[in-house]
Amino acid sequence: MATKVYNSARLALGNGSMDWDNDTFYAVLVAAAYTYSAAHSTYADVSGSEIADADYGPVALTGNTVALVDTDDVLYDCDDISFGNPVTIDASGGHMVILKGSAAGPLAGDELVFARDMADPSASTNSEFTVTTPSGIYRINAA
């Protein structure tokens, strides 16, 4: 599952105007038809592609950390992300997008941070839907 960073987030994380450890972030699922563009910058760029199943909703991230690992790599991590249990999500879910803001009320101007390709369209039928993060959300390699 490849994770990409949006250009605006790359700048904000680098200059400190976005703080992965202390700011509030949330995740949404967008349809497989969504085409990632590093130039996308706000929720308005992905909101039309967000899946619309009745028992699905955006989820607040918890346990956010940023750490130096393996001597010189930087790892952005968080707890596993559960979209609910039970939840029904049709097979159109192909990407998870991380945003800065509140899951309770996504706003058009919320900043896009990361987009994770879910490899295949993801689905859940009246069961748990969790995205695991055993290797973190995003890793910056020094090399």
Burial 108-141 (b: 16+ CB within 10 A, else e): eebbbbbbbebeeebebeeeebebebeebbbeee
Q: How confident is the model at residue 122 (pLDDT cuts 50, 70, 90)?
A: low
pLDDT value at residue 137: 87
Least confident interval from 10-14, 48-52, 117-121, 135-139:
117-121
Q: How confident is the model at residue 102 (pLDDT cuts 50, 70, 90)?
A: very high
The pLDDT mean for the chain works out to: 88
Question: Percent of the chain having pLDDT more than 70?
Answer: 90
pLDDT value at residue 72: 85
Which positions ≥6 away from 95 have C-beta within 8 Å?
A: 29, 30, 31, 32, 34, 36, 115, 116, 117, 118
pTM: 0.90
Contact assessment for residue 109 and residue 44, using Cβ atoms and an 8 Å cutoff: yes
Least confident interval from 9-18, 73-82, 106-115, 128-137:
128-137
pLDDT value at residue 141: 81
Give CA–CA dist 94/72, Å, rounded: 31
pLDDT at 103 over 90: yes
3-state per-residue secondary structure call for the chain: CCEEECHHHHHHHHHCCCCCCCCCEEEEEEECCCCCCCCCCEHHHCHHHECCCCCCCCEECCCCEEEEECCCEEEEECCCEECCCCEEEEEEEEEEEEEECCCCCCCCCCEEEEEEEEEEEEEEEEECCEECCCCCCEEECCC
